[in-house]
Structure formats: C-alpha cells, structure tokens
C-alpha cells in the first residue's frame, strides 16, 4: 500500500562534475543527508534539480541511482513532466514500475494559451499509455516559470476522470489565496505549498506538507515546522524558516542553494550549475554566507 502523500518532500539539487555530467555519488550522499535531516521523501527532478536542463536519459539515471543506492522508491516523487508526451510517458512509466510514491507532473509548457481540453488530453493520454502501473500524479502548478498552469476547472475534471490517480498538487503559483482555494475546493486532494513562506498558514488551512527548494539547506527546520505546527512556538519556527528562505531566494535561488551546500559539505564542486544558470560570483557568495541566517544554519547542520 502506498504511503500517504504528506510531509516534507525535498526537490533535491543535482550536483555536476567539472565536465557538466551528473555526479551521482555526490547526489546520493546529499539525498541520504536530506532524509536523515527529516525529509519524508525526495521530489527528485524538480525545478531545483535543474531537471529541464537534463536529458530524459539523465533523468532516468537519477531515478535509478537513488533506487540502486537503497533509497526506497516509496520515498521518491520524481518530476516526469515534459513538453513531449512520449518523454513524460516514458519517465512516468519507469517511476510506476519501480513503485515510486508518485510523480510530479508539469504541464507541457512550451505552447502558451493552450486550452484546458488540450491539457486534459495530455494527462489522459499519459495515464492511459502508462497503463496498470501508473503512479499517483501530483500536478505541478508553477505559472511564474511555466506560464501554463492547471486551472481550478481542469483540476476538477482530472480528479473526476482519474480518481485516486490525480491525487495532489505542488502549488508554486506564489499566491497563498490560490493554495487555500485548492484545499477548500477539493477535500482530500493533497495540496503542498511550493515554498515554506506561508507553511504555518497552509497547515492551518489543510495543506498536507511542503515541497520546497530551500529544504535542500533547511530540511530540519521545515520538517520540524510541519511536525509541530500546532504548538505555541510554531510562529517562531516559521520566522526562522523564512529568514533562511529570504537569504537564498534574494540572491538567485538555485545557485544560492548550491553555494550553501558547497559550504556545508566542504565541496566546491557543488557550485556547478548548467547553463543558462550561472554560479554565484565570489562577492555575492561571501555576502550570502555572511547572512546571519545562513551563518547560524551552517553552524548547526552536520557536514
């Protein structure tokens, strides 16, 4: 039986060798650290993972590397969205055959102003082509980057057509009111805010957890907030998480996360990103690591 979709699922950053290839050894060490730090599971191949800068083969390599390293598939929710339907089908089928907890599905985002009917057809054909072992699908709603999103009406149609399969959403719209609307409109639908900035309010409204980029550096703090959101000091935990989020987000989220990981692990190779992203320059990196929230974080997390 699949575990409930809840808790902290960290979209793990992807480390690269100097030649740009994936450093799977470093990746597995980081994934295991995230689980030890309190992540319920790993939303591998998300935006923070630079998944859309990876080939389909590389994305499959990462899924397999995690499974081969002994990370239970039920603790993985790979991102399998793609602009080409067959790419999304192949990755989703592979995740389902391994027994992953679910997949995180971006809409096909290249063509803009597409209809809900077109997006419905994409999901319907994906589910039908994957077949009997189709995993649970979490819709990835991130219109600030993808532009294309999952409308409320479309989500309702998908839940009705594929009950138990279309099971949740990562809501990265950046609009807390939208998170609340999703929770209230679809009882039992697993809604994960895509950042921890309003996590306490989200849990109070009925969110099931969080899928957040900055959990790469603050999994302990975010997981603690999810576990203890009903306690009197929850607001303090939220403020602390926000300070860390502000520090990395204000300087370029993915390169900043990688700079902090380089400092945590004592490994400069962590700073590498794939074009078109660029690593932080030396001055910005020094400024980031001198931020009080990051300084305190690095003093308290294990290497």
Instruction: Please provide the DSSP assignment of 224-244 as one string.
Output: HHHHTTTSTTHHHHHHHHHHH
CA pair distance 144, 283, nearest whole angstrom: 28
Query: pLDDT tens digit string along 17-39?
Result: 999 999 999 999 999 999 999 99
Query: pLDDT tens digit string along 241-272?
Result: 999 999 999 999 999 999 999 999 999 999 99
| Average pLDDT rounded to a whole number, residues 64-75 | 97
Query: pLDDT tens digit string along 162-178?
Result: 999 999 999 999 999 99
Nearest to 244 by CA among 215, 206, 265: 215
Q: Which residue has the tokens 């499974």?
A: 67
Structure tokens of 127? 């589910």
DSSP state of 274: -
Q: What is the pTM of this model?
A: 0.96
CA pair distance 209, 86, nearest whole angstrom: 30
Which pLDDT band holds residue 302 (cuts at 50, 70, 90)? confident
Could you tell me if 293 and 270 are in contact, meaning their C-beta atoms sit under 8 angstroms apart? no
Neighbours of 136 (CB within 10 A): 20
Could you tell me if 223 and 241 are in contact, meaning their C-beta atoms sit under 8 angstroms apart? no
CA pair distance 230, 243, nearest whole angstrom: 21
Q: Tell me which residues are annotated as active site.
A: 140, 170
Burial label for 201, CB within 10 Å (0-12, 13-18, 19+), is middle
Which CATH number is correct for 7-229, 3.40.50.450, 3.40.50.720, 3.40.190.10, 3.20.20.70? 3.20.20.70
Could you tell me if 99 and 62 are in contact, meaning their C-beta atoms sit under 8 angstroms apart? no
R_g (Cα) of the chain, nearest Å: 18
Q: Give the pairing type, strands 137-141 and 166-171.
A: parallel
Where in 26-111 does DSSP place strands (E)? Answer: 41-42, 103-105
Contacts of 200 (CB under 8 A, 6+ apart): 225, 229, 234, 235, 237, 238
Neighbours of 302 (CB within 10 A): 8
Q: What mean pLDDT value characterizes the chain?
A: 97
Domain residue spans in the chain?
A: 7-229
Nearest to 194 by CA among 182, 33, 65: 182
């Amino acid at each position: 039986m699949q575990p409930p979709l809840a808790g902290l699922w960290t979209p793990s950053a992807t480390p690269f060798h100097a030649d740009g290839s994936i450093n799977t050894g470093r990746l597995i060490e980081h994934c295991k650290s995230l689980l030890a730090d309190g992540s319920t599971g790993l939303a591998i191949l998300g935006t923070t993972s630079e998944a859309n800068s990876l080939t389909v083969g590389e994305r499959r390599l990462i899924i397999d590397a995690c499974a081969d390293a002994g990370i239970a598939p039920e603790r993985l929710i790979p991102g399998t969205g793609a602009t080409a339907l067959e790419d999304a089908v192949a990755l989703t089928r592979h995740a389902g055959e391994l027994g992953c907890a679910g997949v995180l599905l971006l809409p096909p985002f290249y063509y803009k102003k597409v209809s809900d009917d077109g997006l419905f057809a994409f999901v319907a054909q994906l589910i039908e082509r994957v077949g009997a072992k189709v995993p649970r699908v979490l819709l990835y709603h991130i219109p600030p980057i993808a532009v294309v999103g999952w409308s409320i009406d479309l989500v309702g149609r998908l839940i009705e057509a594929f009950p138990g399969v279309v099971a949740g959403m990562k809501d990265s719209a950046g609009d807390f009111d939208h998170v609340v609307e999703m929770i209230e409109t679809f009882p039992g639908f697993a809604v994960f805010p895509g950042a921890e900035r309003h996590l306490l309010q989200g849990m109070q409204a009925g969110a099931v957890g969080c899928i957040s980029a900055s959990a790469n550096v603050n999994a302990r703090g975010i997981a603690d907030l999810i576990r203890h959101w009903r306690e009197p000091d929850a607001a303090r935990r939220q403020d602390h998480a926000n300070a860390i989020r502000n520090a990395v987000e204000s300087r370029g989220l993915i390169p900043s996360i990688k700079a902090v990981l380089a400092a945590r692990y004592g490994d400069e190779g962590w700073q590498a990103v794939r074009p078109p992203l660029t690593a932080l320059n030396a001055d910005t990196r020094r400024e980031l690591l001198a931020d009080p929230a990051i300084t305190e974080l690095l003093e308290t997390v294990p290497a």
